[in-house]
Structure 1
Amino acid sequence: MRAAVLREYGEPLAVEDVDPPEPEPHGVVVDVEACGICRSDWHAWMGHGEWADDQAPIGQVLGHEPAGRVVAVGDEVREVATGDRVALPFNLGDGTCPHCRNGHGNVCPNGRALGFQSAAPGAFAEEVHLPWADYNAMPLPDGVSARDVAALGCRFMTAFHALAHRADLGGGDWLAVHGCGGVGLSAVHIGDALGARVVAVDVNESKLSRATELGADAVVDASEVDRVPKEIKIVSDGGAHVSVDALGVAETCRNSVFCLRRRGEHVQLGLTTDEEKGEVSLPTDRMAHMELSFHGSRGMPPTRYGELFGLMQTGDVDPGKLVSKEVVLSDVSDRLAAMTNYETEGVEVVTEFAN
């Protein structure tokens, strides 16, 4: 089968023939119909993460936002059958650890990271293996396309988990979103759906325009103001109740914390680059005095996908609105390279895997 393989960090992926996967006893093989191209793929492609023992290995098949149809089933699988249409989370829990059993499979210590570890080859390929399928395979509702679920992928469900489960975002609250890439725009759209008033921050006019289309009540062009937190406090009459760093650089992380009102909550979604190497200086005294909360958030537990699928079925959220481009497998390297200087917009999805 055709797959896009990481042969050298920062260089074009090798689109080549590789052996198709065989299902482990607890796993299934999925024919990939669509797979999003995420900034986390860019981090892996660039070789980031060594400082956190999280560097994708050379020889890895990347891609972690897939949806498709099951074509082979392991002997121990009971809940998934050939022909089922499924979504695949990138944070794959084993279904047996205390975290998985308590609904937090996204932080399973025995789990695998789809597309980032050699034990979990990714979905920039015609087929992908899904381990522990009875726990991880998420059946697609009728009428929901694989393309839209690929847009849901890592970014949309990560933003949903961050706002609906990690932070206490309520109707009428002010939400600040720093960075309007795929995960940032997802947070804007979800925040609007949850009844929040949203301020979107970026330096790109077209991305801010897209944020407005997706429900932002106000936008801040960070390239045109001296102090982003001050502008957000003016717009929100005192500061955000919840703020998200959707980019992962020191400036956006600190701006996110500084823009909060008392007892506000910051959620970290963006991963750092080799500039920060996983470390950002924070105003800890201010955080203590104002009782500010700092939350990390990773993916979403497979057990909570039903909440998001329900919102998709009712039309309250529509990940497909974020899709800006459909590409073929051989285009992935160019699209990753475009992310280096933030030249992509919204969510780009691979929908053709034979080329």
Structure 2
Amino acid sequence: MRAAVLREYGEPLEIEDVDRPEPDPDGVVIETEACGICRSDWHAWQGDWDWIGAKPPKGQILGHEPAGTVISVGEDVTRLSEGDNVAVPFNLSDGTCPMCQTGHSNVCENVLPLGFSEAAPGAFAEEVHVPVADQNAVALPDGVSPVAMAGLGCRFVTAFHALVHRADVDAGDWVAVHGCGGVGLSAVHIADAIGANVVAVDLTDEKLAKAEELGADATVNAAESDNVPRAVMGVTDGGAHVSVDALGIAETCRNSVQSLRRRGQHVQIGLTSEEEQGTVELPTDAMVMQEAEFIGSFGMQPPRYDEIFRMVEAGTLDPSAVVSETVTLDDVPDRLAAMSDFETMGIPVVDEF
């Protein structure tokens, strides 16, 4: 089968013929019908994240936002059958650790990152294996488009979990979103859907215009502002109740924290790059005196995907609204390269392999 393989960090992925996967006894193989191209794939391509143990080895098949059809089922799988349409989370869990057993499988103690680990080849491929499938593969509702659901593997569910489960967002609260890439635009759309007022922050007018389409009530162009937190404070009449760093660089993290009103909540979604290597300096004294909260958010538990599906069915959420384009597997190297200069918008999705 064809797959996009990492051979050298920072060099174009190679489109190669590789062996088709076979299911483990507890796994399934899905035919990949759609897979989002995420900034996390860019980090993997760059060779980032060795500081958190997630640097992929050379020879890795990348891609971690798949949706597709089950075509082969391991003998121990009980919940899935051939022909089922599924989405797959990027943070595969084992179902046995204390976190999994208490409903927090998104932070499994033995997490296996799809597309980042040799044990979990990714989904920029015609087929992808899903281990512990009863735990990890999420059955999709009838009639939904795989392209619309591709972002459920990472960006859309991550933003949903951050705003619905981790932060305390009430109707009418101000939510600031710093960085309007795929996860940031998903956060804008979700915050609007749950009744918040949203201010979107980015460097480009095109992305800010898309944020307005998805529900942003106000925007701040960071390239034109000499003080982003002050601009957000002005828009929100004293600061955001919840502020999200959807990018992961030091500037957006600090801007997000400093955009809060007293007793506000900062939610960190974006993971850092080579420059920060996992560490950002923060105004801790101000956070103490204002009782600000710093909250991490990582993926979402598969059993909670139904919350999104119900909102999609009700017409409140539309994951496809964040999809910016569909491309072929051969386009993946160029799309990753474009992310170096933040030239992609929304969620590009591979739908032709």
Q: Pick the TM interval, shorter chain.
A: over 0.9
Aligned counterparts of 2:107 and 2:221: Cα–Cα separation in 1 = 35
The residue aligned with 2:338 is 338
Deviations 1:210-269 (A, max 9, x none): 000000000001111111111111111110000000111111100000010111000111
Query: Cα offset for 1:135?
Result: 1.1
Aligned counterparts of 1:160 and 1:33: Cα–Cα separation in 2 = 23
Deviations 1:267-322 (A, max 9, x none): 11111111111110001111111111101111111121111111111111101011
The residue aligned with 1:52 is 52
Deviations 1:79-117 (A, max 9, x none): 111111101011111112221121111111123111110
Aligned partners of 2:3 and 2:15 also within 8 Å = yes
Query: Cα offset for 1:75?
Result: 0.7
1:121 aligned partner, one-letter code: P
Aligned partners of 2:88 and 2:152 also within 8 Å = no
Verify: 1:200 aligned to 2:200, yes or no: yes
Gaps spanning 5+ residues in structure 1: where? Answer: none
Q: Secondary structure at the match of 1:180?
A: coil
Q: Secondary structure at the match of 1:31?
A: strand
RMSD over aligned CA atoms reads 0.8
1:30 aligned partner, one-letter code: I
1:128 aligned partner, one-letter code: V
Aligned counterparts of 1:325 and 1:52: Cα–Cα separation in 2 = 31
Query: Cα offset for 1:73?
Result: 0.5
Gaps spanning 5+ residues in structure 2: where? Answer: none
Verify: 1:218 aligned to 2:246, yes or no: no
Aligned counterparts of 2:47 and 2:297: Cα–Cα separation in 1 = 22
The residue aligned with 1:105 is 105
Query: Cα offset for 1:14?
Result: 0.9
Q: Secondary structure at the match of 2:264?
A: strand
Name the TM-score, length of structure 1 as normaliser.
Answer: 0.98
Verify: 1:352 aligned to 2:352, yes or no: yes
The residue aligned with 2:230 is 230
Query: Cα offset for 1:340?
Result: 0.2
The residue aligned with 2:168 is 168
The residue aligned with 1:328 is 328
Aligned counterparts of 2:324 and 2:59: Cα–Cα separation in 1 = 29
User: What is the correspondence of 1:146-157 to structure 2 with a 5 Å cutoff?
Assistant: 146-157=146-157
1:352 aligned partner, one-letter code: E
Farther-moved stretch of structure 1 (128-137 vs 147-156):
147-156
Identity of aligned residues (%): 65
1:152 aligned partner, one-letter code: L
Verify: 1:286 aligned to 2:286, yes or no: yes
Number of equivalent positions: 353
User: What is the correspondence of 1:1-355 to structure 2 with a 5 Å cutoff?
Assistant: 1-353=1-353
2:213 aligned partner, one-letter code: E
2:149 aligned partner, one-letter code: V
Deviations 1:133-176 (A, max 9, x none): 11111110012110000033311110000000111111111000
Aligned counterparts of 1:189 and 1:327: Cα–Cα separation in 2 = 23
Query: Cα offset for 1:53?
Result: 2.1
Farther-moved stretch of structure 1 (327-336 vs 95-104):
95-104
Aligned partners of 2:325 and 2:348 also within 8 Å = yes
Q: Secondary structure at the match of 1:10?
A: coil
Farther-moved stretch of structure 1 (271-280 vs 62-71):
271-280
Name the TM-score, length of structure 2 as normaliser.
Answer: 0.99
List structure 1 segments (4+ residues) > 4 angstroms apart after TM superposition.
none
